[in-house]
Amino acid sequence: MIYLCGLAVFLVAVLMLYELFDQARPAISRFGFGFLTSRTWDPVKENFGILPIIYGTIASSVVALVIAVPVSVGAAIFVTDVAPGWMRAPVAFLIELLAAIPSIVYGLWGLFVLVPFVRDPVQKFLGGHFSFIPLFDGPQFGIGLLAAGIVLAIMILPIITSISRDVLLAVPSTQREAMLALGATRWEATSRAVIPYARSGIVGGVILGLGRAIGETMAVTLVIGNGFKISASLFQPSHTIASTIASEFSEAPSELYRSALIEAGLVLLLIALLVNIGARLLVWRIVHAPARARE
């Protein structure tokens, strides 16, 4: 029975891939590899290409990582090495509590609170002082890649922080003690001994956060806007694969339209699988590194 339970998990994943591939077959046969490289998404003429929404997915996730990684790693270091003992458990609990908030709540908060703040003063300041940089050029709507990236950063922060904290706690105390015995300060011991030792595990946590950001749907749908184009500006509205499926699937009138959306979902699933496999390998590396070192 235990073997069957373990096998069932594998079968669910295989059946999911098969069903998505089967339902996406009309679009695969019609568009081929051009489905991934075309910039046209025209439901009226039934001409579909997902390069702009692949770009939106990657761009919003990268913005989220740029914002979330320094804050997450800093919070993990604070909880494990800097904060007094009485403060560590409450801070860790509050960080993990962010992971329990539903994504639709993040989306509503982003739409009514974050978007006005991003429009003025954030975009107003960036556009007024750094408009010569393509990233901060263009009309200041509030909604767009920047707002989506900030919402995603808040959503993946507890994931990266929790994994980084666990990895930092797994670092042998002898690493810290050796540096302190050599006369290093607490920060020098953390930056030169603890963080390099835990680097692979922290990277694994970052990649798991990236997987969450790539697949997020409702929160991004509410704040990213509606733009099927590739633009260097973070102020421009865009779309992700997940937000496109969520906003258009119920209105798809034809079989080819639905098949194209399902093929987009298949592409998203494959990207998420690759990201999570990479994260698992990195986490496995950090877990088994002490054993290999002892050998």
Query: What CATH number should be reported for the domain holding residue 97?
Result: 1.10.3720.10
For 71, counting Cβ atoms within 10 Å of its Cβ (0-12 exposed, 13-18 middle, 19+ buried), the class is middle
pLDDT average per 10 residues of sequence, the chain (295 residues): 90 90 91 88 88 91 93 91 84 85 90 91 88 86 91 92 88 84 84 84 85 87 87 89 88 87 91 79 66 51
Domain assignment present for 12? no
Q: Is residue 2 part of a domain?
A: no
Token pair 């990582």 is at which residue?
Answer: 65
Q: Which two tokens stand for residue 202?
A: 């922290």
Largest CA distance in the chain: 71
Range of the domain at 266: 52-294
In this predicted structure, what is the pLDDT of residue 287?
62
In sequence order, the 6+-apart residues with CB closer than 8 A to the CB of 226 are 237, 239, 247
Look at residue 11 in the predicted model and tell me its pLDDT: 93
76 within a domain of the structure (yes/no): yes
Please give the Cα distance from 158 to 91 (Å, whole number). 11
Query: What is the model's pLDDT at position 273?
Result: 83
pLDDT for res 292: 54
Question: pLDDT at position 121, please?
Answer: 87
Where residue 142 falls (left for φ over 0; alpha for ψ -120 to 50; beta otherwise) is left
pLDDT given for residue 261 in this prediction: 92
Residue 69, domain member (yes or no): yes
* Domains identified in the chain, total number: 1
Name the residue with tokens 């007024």.
128
**Residue 8 covered by a domain:** no
Asked if residue 3 is part of any domain, the answer here is no
Give pLDDT, residue 294.
47
Q: What is the pTM of this model?
A: 0.87
- Of the candidates 276, 230, 275, 240, which has an alpha carbon nearest to the alpha carbon of residue 261? 240
Does 38 fall in a domain? no
Q: Is residue 284 part of a domain?
A: yes
Question: What does the pLDDT read at residue 260?
Answer: 92
